Amino acid sequence: MSTRTAATFSPPVMEARRWLAGVVFPDDRPLINVSQAAPVEPPPREMRQVMADIALNRDDAHLYGPVLGLPELRSELASQISAHYAGPVRAAQTAITSGCNQAFAAAVASLCSEGDEIIIPTPWYFNHKMWLDMSGVAAVPLPAGAGMLPDPEQAAALITRRTRAIALVTPNNPTGAEYPEGLVQAFFDLARDRGIALILDETYRDFDSRSGPPHRLFQDPGWDDNLIHLYSFSKAYRLTGHRVGAIAASETRLAEVEKFLDTVAICPSQIGQHAALWGMQNLGRWLAGERQEILARRQAITDNMPALTANGWKLLGLGGYFAYVEHPFLESSGELAPRMVRDAGVLSLPGTMFTPLGDVSGQRQLRLAFANLDVAGIGVLFDRLSQL
């Protein structure tokens, strides 16, 4: 019997962790894990103290809360979106979710029926593909072109009567590519012209290398007719284990989203929401420092890349938490990645996990989640890769 879960593949990060079984990493050559894009440090101590105080002193933090999230956090999020993008967003146009993956799932549930389609650029974020598979929604691949950027004209040719949305991630996971303002605007204009939605996942927006608004969609008075904006507090405030994400869309859309959220989680983590609220109100300077550290690590990738380029490697994309590279070996990346664990003590994800079956481009590609390393660690990573 076919089931919803059988319609998709195993979680890639969990699959990659199984490659570690039986491999011994000596003390002088520990494992370098660049497989998962997540902070390895806990939230700042001050934030943890706030969370402890909330747990001890706020009885309501242990009860069910509003399905769409704490009103104070929704209001603060709306204010900060408005400031970040220089366009007005109201609290009623925001909702808090149990992580950004749930925000995507809720958006899809509000858009699609069985057999509908959503266009997603490849290489794709695999959890997006997995959810579409399990929802009975066809993921229509849009291959990235130069600079790992998707082409709106190619997307237009893929739109059918069953297309409900185009889903973009910028800065991109897995490639790191920061989509230019004009490109994001072109996709928004296409979605509006064809009467479909643009799902824009900006989980890594706090680590964008550019200054000023990365796009101007929120400056359009009718942005919520077509735009569904997704965000995560996990990366910015190291709240990965507390599962706090967000969605910005029309009030009509959020009324549908509320149905989904109520039946899946009832409400987001209360303590996590209080932490996110405190972080947004008090950690602006700290977050700016985190961004500078990530940009320094990004620069370290650029500085170390010539050592690999000399051996035939290519840097395809860089940004957010990621470097996306092309390797020079004859074997597929699906075979290379497990070998790298054994031969180099490096755990990364192969491009085959981000591309459709039969897409030969994925066989030459690897994703390196460099945010898990400091600058010195990036130097060690590249030294090991150069010796493969």
- Please tell me the predicted confidence (pLDDT) of residue 206: 95
- Structure tokens belonging to residue 291: 């961004």
| Length in residues, the chain | 388
Average pLDDT, integer, range 182-204: 98
Q: Rounded to the nearest 5 degrees, what angle is found at the Cα of 378, between the Cα atoms of 374 and 384?
A: 145
Predicted pLDDT at 38: 80
| ∠ Cα 80 186 314 (to 5°) | 90
The answer on pLDDT for 331 being more than 60 is yes
The structure's pTM equals 0.95
Q: How confident is the model at residue 305, as a pLDDT? A: 96
- Under 8 Å CB-to-CB from 291, ≥6 apart: which residues? 206, 207
Report the pLDDT averaged over residues 252-280. 96
Q: What is the pLDDT of residue 362?
A: 95
Provide the mean pLDDT of the chain.
95
pLDDT band at 81 (very low <50, low <70, confident <90, very high): very high
CA–CA distance, 178 with 110 (Å, rounded to integer): 27
